[in-house]
Structure 1
Amino acid sequence: MGDAFPRPVCVRLPALFDALFPGVERRLELEAATVAELVDALEARWPGMRDRICDSRPQIRKHINVFVDGRRVRLDAALLPGADVFILTAISGG
């Protein structure tokens, strides 16, 4: 027996996006069945965000990491209702 209404996933965006997308919400809830659908939903709200997350192949960019419930995933990863999704920028140093 499933939920009558699907529960959205919780998405947390990196601080870097504050400067790139004025008014961006750092934590929001969206309905999506896959990470790719989630990226589409973010793009619909903030045009240009897909290009910051994905390259032209399309795959998640090398300097971006997407974690779902603590596991690093790719665009084709399924999202269960209520999943915690973190989109993070890679940190590098010398």
Structure 2
Amino acid sequence: MAAAAPALVRLPPLFDALFPGAERRVEIVASSVQELVDELDARWPGMRDRICDSTPAVRRHINVFVEGRRATLATPLKPGADVYILTAISGG
């Protein structure tokens, strides 16, 4: 049986400064956004805390999109899914 196709995850530019050496595009095999965040944190410790709050849920100023739709930690990932993690832009 072949391994599932990894999701293609795109990380925000802000993470470049916070996680030196982290790639902006990374492939991860995961069945949910939660598993994806766990794997990101395993590769770059502390990344979970930047993406999730303590409840746990995706932080208010972070957006996760799977196949163009806003996602939660419980959102399932199909093999080969396109995932974007973006920082929200706010102002007044």
| TM-score normalised by the chain length of structure 2 | 0.97
Name the SS for the 1:86 alignment partner: strand
Identity %: 70
Q: Structure 1 residue 71 and structure 2 residue 69: aligned?
A: yes
* In 1: Cα distance, 2:88 partner to 2:13 partner: 12
Q: Which runs of 5+ in 2 are unaligned?
A: none
Give the corresponding residue for 2:49: 51
Name the SS for the 1:17 alignment partner: helix
Name the SS for the 2:84 alignment partner: strand
The alignment's C-alpha RMSD in Å is 0.9
Aligned pairs (5 A) from 1:1-94: 4-94=2-92
Name the SS for the 2:50 alignment partner: helix
* In 2: Cα distance, 1:42 partner to 1:84 partner: 15
Between the two proteins, the alignment pairs up a number of residues equal to 92
- Large movers: runs of 4+ above 3 Å: none
Q: Which runs of 5+ in 1 are unaligned?
A: none
Task: Return the offset for 1:60.
Answer: 0.3
* In 1: Cα distance, 2:43 partner to 2:2 partner: 26
Name the SS for the 2:63 alignment partner: strand
Output the amino acid matched with 2:2. Answer: A
